[in-house]
């Protein structure tokens, strides 16, 4: 069975003290996390070391950076390199979130470079893809997402691809309160897996974890995660609420 993941994306939220308290409260709960289920916390860069220390001794939990740069080092003030992440023991990085694409103009080509450098340093990319509202309304979401996959992922070998987690995020359902129905989520996840099958074969495609990211909350997580091609969620606002995120974790297959 594919790895089922509940990934918390804190975005640019919480003070250090608030982040510490949130992790303490979440980690005080008992979770049934066998090797098939994993929780990932994507925290702001200043909190990576704190969060990594908090998770010491907790199995099947990991810390992710919310971004990294496409170069290993150099005169890139304000950026975070994979070498820095590696030195902290960080194992995951979120790449291509819709907010990075929209606000910081990150292209599919730049994301391909970031994927390369993360994989070269054994850091698992959580690669985000998904369509904005106008694309969904035009009915061209499949072609739009297919282009994201082709331009950012398809240069990878099968072995490299198997190290990537994909997160489908319908941009029109992020922070809007709107959520794709479980049927809509399954339809796109199945389409993504079919595209991977065409490129890499069924055996490889069936190993890839595909998360859903778009207003996942306690009230809809179980239904979303029950879909055959939905392998968990990339969770925004609900991951900042202890009771909400605990239910989401418990909703994993």
pLDDT of residue 30: 86
Using CA atoms, how far apart are residues 115 and 63, in angstroms rounded to an integer?
17
Split into its structural domains, the chain has a count of: 1
Q: In this predicted model, what pLDDT tens digit does every residue of 156-205 receive, in sequence order? A: 999 999 999 999 999 988 767 676 899 999 999 999 999 999 999 999 99
Residue segments in the chain with a per-residue pLDDT below the cut of 50: none
Q: Which H or E element spans position 7? A: strand 4-9
Hey, what are 206's tokens? 């069936």
Nearest to 158 by CA among 198, 111, 131, 122: 198
* Residues 6 or more apart in contact with residue 188 via CB below 8 angstroms: 141, 142, 145, 168, 170, 180
pLDDT of residue 105: 97
pLDDT of residue 103: 96
Q: Which H or E element spans position 235? A: strand 232-235
Enumerate the active-site residues. Answer: 97, 169
pLDDT of residue 132: 92
What is the SS3 string spanning 136-203? HHHCCHHHHHHHHHHHHHCCCCHHHHCCCEEEECCHHHCCCCCCCCHHHHHHHHHHHHHHHHHHHCHH
CATH number at residue 40: 3.20.20.70
Using CA atoms, how far apart are residues 162 and 185, in angstroms rounded to an integer?
22
Using CA atoms, how far apart are residues 241 and 236, in angstroms rounded to an integer?
10
Between the two ends of the chain, the Cα-to-Cα distance in Å is 10
Domain range enclosing 161:
4-250
Decide if 174 contacts 238 (C-beta within 8 A). Answer: no
pTM comes to 0.96
pLDDT of residue 215: 87
Hey, what are 230's tokens? 């939905």
């Amino acid at each position: 069975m594919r790895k089922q993941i509940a990934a918390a994306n804190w975005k640019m939220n919480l003070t250090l003290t608030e982040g510490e308290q949130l992790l303490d409260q979440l980690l005080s709960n008992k979770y049934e996390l066998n090797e098939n289920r994993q929780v990932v916390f994507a925290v702001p860069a200043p909190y990576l070391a704190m969060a990594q220390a908090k998770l010491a001794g907790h199995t099947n939990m990991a810390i992710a950076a919310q971004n990294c740069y496409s170069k290993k080092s150099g005169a890139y003030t304000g950026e975070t390199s994979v070498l820095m992440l590696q030195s902290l023991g960080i194992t995951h990085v979120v790449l291509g979130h819709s907010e990075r694409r929209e606000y910081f103009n990150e292209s599919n080509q730049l994301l391909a470079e970031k994927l390369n450098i993360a994989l070269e340093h054994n850091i698992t990319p959580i690669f985000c893809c998904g369509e904005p509202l106008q694309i969904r309304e035009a009915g061209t979401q499949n072609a739009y997402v297919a282009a994201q996959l082709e331009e950012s992922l398809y240069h990878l070998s099968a072995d490299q691809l198997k190290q990537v987690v994909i997160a489908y995020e319908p941009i029109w359902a992020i922070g809007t309160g709107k959520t794709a129905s479980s049927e809509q989520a399954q339809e796109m996840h199945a389409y993504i897996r079919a595209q991977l099958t065409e490129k890499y074969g069924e055996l490889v495609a069936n190993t890839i974890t595909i998360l859903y990211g778009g207003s996942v909350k306690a009230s809809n997580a179980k239904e979303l995660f029950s879909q055959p091609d939905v392998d968990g969620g990339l969770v925004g606002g609900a991951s900042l609420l202890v009771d909400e995120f605990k239910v989401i974790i418990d909703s994993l297959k």
